[in-house]
Chain A
Amino acid sequence: MSETTMLEAIRTSLAEAMRADERVVVLGEDVAAGGPWGATAGLADEFGVERVRNTPISEAAICGVAIGLAQSGLRPVVEVMFVDFVTLALDQLVNQAAKAHFMSGGQLAVPLVLRTQGGAGQRGGAQHSQSLESWLAHVPGLKVVMPSTAADAAGLLRSAIADPNPVVFVENKTLYFRREEANGSEPVLLGRARVARRGRDVTVVATSRLVSEALAAAEELAREGIEVEVVDPRTLVPLDLDAIVESVSRTHRLVVAHEAVEHGGFGAEVAAQVQSAAFDELDAPIERVGAPFAPVPFSPPLEDAYLPDRADVTTAVRTLLRRSA
């Protein structure tokens, strides 16, 4: 079995999509040169700089151009270098892209993918480390994807590019270079959760980087005979609530874990939906794992302490088991 990384999987998936459909174009800052991480490396050589298009540092205009391309029949994939800079393109995303189909009474469609990456852990400071997915998931009309493995990244990207709606594809910078087994790039449907580990005692719904943290926590807890089920929703919008409820109805305990600030985070939405759909299945209140209500600190020991990790998941699982004993 060969190995790959999430970056390699994304690059391969993009190239396959561009080969399969000449309407697919890539644009963003430095994408023709491969981008800062290399996600688009080699694409300009194969497809030319008309289809792999460098842009100035104008996030709003880039996003707006992509909307116009999409409305005029193309399939743009925009790269915004850091999710922190999506703030600059929010009018385009929220007021234009998300609402075009709706406000036109169904006349327009915006098949646009906005790839970006977020997350802390690389001493980037508070403006290059955020997890802002809950803002985007709050906007009707946008789909929000957060892959946690290379295979999912490749497969979800294919589906996102084929989707007739604007999709925000939020990668995590700390996952880019992890080595994984290559599993090809079969499309992964948006809105289908993946059970990353089976277990009978507690369900942990985790996203992005927290999936591997939850798996590490599950490994540790298994040594004590505690069996944790890890569910990765993979897409926040649409959310596979059925898969989560199915898991909770077997384990009767739920932890929701993400790197984003816990306050107002997407975990609150998952918790609210699960208690509404399956209150009687729960043996204890739902626990949340997320970052404190503070910007990401720069100083390494402070950043390390700030970041939710496997220890936080383990603590949340133990708390749940205590409360439901």
Chain B
Amino acid sequence: MVSPAEVDAALGLELLRGMWRIRAFEERVGQLTRADEVHGLVHLSIGQEAVAVGVCGQLSSRDAVYGNHRAHGHAIAKGAPLAALMAELMGRDGGLCRGLGGSMHLVDVEHGFLGATGVVGGNVPLALGSALASRLAGHDAVAAVFFGDGAAQGGIFVESVNLAALWALPVILVCENNGFAEFTPRSAHSPVERVADVVAPYGLERATVDGNDVDAVRRAFAGFLEAARRGEGPFLLECLTHRLRGHYEGDPQRYREAIAQEEWQRRDPIRRLERRGLDEGWLDDDTPARVEQETREEVEEAVRVARESPYPEPALTSELVYA
């Protein structure tokens, strides 16, 4: 678990490796989607890795985390094994969810990843429930839920924020504000630019940070987490970020502005941390390439294992309707 101290070599490497693991995994997923080995609607978080890593690195498997439709990074950062994750995206029996969930519905109970959802905002109240369960049991476990800025315009979001604040639940709402709700900019969806402002009347403690700076995410989250462990809450952490890929794989992205895209490439969270490490001297010149190479090998091994997993038997469909 990452401690909220200064970034040193050990922590810096851990953060870098965490982000590279997601990047390498998702770049491979993009290729495999085009090769029709990974199926269905696939939403990549490339460019947003700092949020998942900055948050999940500080949580344990007892803490419940929920993700949205763009959740590969959330699951990986929470500890989901890459091979089972890849097998899931391929629809194989060895997948995290035995091939019954797919990219938008990942679950890894062992590591406390209680679920992604394909319905925008749909599992925000579930995180409240997990937080309440922890309180009723007298534990110090917390709950966190990732969602995009698009979720803030849904009724369930407002209902959940109200309830979380009313009951002062130890839940941390993590908004990945990437400025786009599917194919349109936030300005076309809401006159409120910042999601932190949406929740302001409810009195939540909240922060808006540069979501492409993994250290900034980590520090802000650490403060909230410490308080949530004491049973305080709720909190909202808004991370301003940018997805470097389309809404889904295959999105023609006609809505992109070329200049902005160039600027965001420059702010790529992985490159930024690498530059900082080199500047501050806790990273040497060879390490970034080595970390990249090692995570790409890890992903290739995951692909190999996933490909060996068979498709589930057709009977599985009727077997798992009821517990």
Contact = CB atoms under 8 A, between A and B. Distances in A.
Interface of A: 25, 50-51, 55-56, 58, 60-74, 76, 91-92, 95-96, 99-111, 140-141, 143, 164-165
Residue among A65, A69, A91 having the largest count of chain B Cβ atoms under 10 Å: A65
A105 B99 contact: yes
A95 B119 contact: yes
A61 B100 contact: no
B107 A107 contact: yes
Given A58-B162, A92-B122, A96-B122, A69 B129 contact: yes
Given A58-B163, A102-B321, A165-B323, A64 B101 contact: no
A165 B134 CA distance: 21
Residue among B122, B166, B322 having the largest count of chain A Cβ atoms under 10 Å: B322
24 contacts: A56-B162, A58-B163, A63-B125, A64-B124, A64-B128, A64-B160, A65-B163, A68-B129, A68-B131, A68-B143, A71-B130, A72-B134, A91-B156, A92-B122, A92-B156, A100-B107, A101-B321, A105-B96, A105-B97, A105-B100, A105-B101, A141-B321, A164-B322, A164-B323
A67 B131 CA distance: 12
Interface size class of B (residues with CB under 8 A): 35 or more
B163 A61 contact: yes
Contacts of A72: 64, 114, 129-130, 133-134
A111 B322 CA distance: 11
A103 B119 contact: no
Contacts of A105: 95-101, 107, 320
A165 B207 CA distance: 38
A161 B256 CA distance: 51
What 9 pairs between A and B have smallest CB-CB spacing?
Answer: A68-B129, A64-B125, A105-B98, A72-B133, A61-B159, A105-B97, A68-B126, A104-B107, A164-B323
B136 interface: yes
A124 to B, nearest CB: 24
Contact of A64 (B100, B109, B118, B123): B123
A161 B130 CA distance: 19
B105 interface: yes
A22 to B, nearest CB: 9
Contact of B133 (A73, A102, A108): A73
A68 B133 contact: yes
Contacts of B160: 61, 64
Contacts of B136: 25, 50-51, 74
Nearest to B321: A140
Residue among A51, A61, A69 having the largest count of chain B Cβ atoms under 10 Å: A61
Interface in B148-195: 155-156, 159-160, 162-163, 166
A108 B115 contact: yes
A71 B97 contact: no
A67 B124 CA distance: 11
Nearest to B133: A72
Contacts of A64: 122-126, 128-129, 156, 160
B130 A68 contact: yes
B127 interface: yes
A246 to B, nearest CB: 24
Interface string B248-270: 00000000000000000000000
Interface string B63-76: 01000000000000
A143 B105 CA distance: 22
B55 interface: no
B212 interface: no
Residue among B95, B117, B125, B128 having the largest count of chain A Cβ atoms under 10 Å: B125
Contacts of A50: 136
Contact of B159 (A60, A106, A111): A60
Contacts of A74: 133, 136
Nearest to B95: A105
Contact of B128 (A65, A96, A107, A165): A65
B132 interface: yes
Interface string B130-147: 111110110000010000
A55 B163 contact: yes
Contacts of A56: 159, 162-163, 166
Nearest to B166: A56
Given A104-B107, A105-B97, A71 B322 contact: no
B231 to A, nearest CB: 13
B323 A91 contact: no
Contacts of B128: 61, 64-65, 68
A65 B96 contact: no
Nearest to A97: B126
Nearest to A100: B115
B132 A69 contact: yes
B97 A104 contact: yes
A73 B137 contact: yes
B134 A68 contact: no
A50 B323 CA distance: 28
A68 B115 CA distance: 10
A165 B97 CA distance: 18
Interface in B297-323: 320-323
A106 B323 contact: yes
A56 B131 CA distance: 18
B122 A101 contact: no
Contacts of A143: 322
A68 B117 contact: no
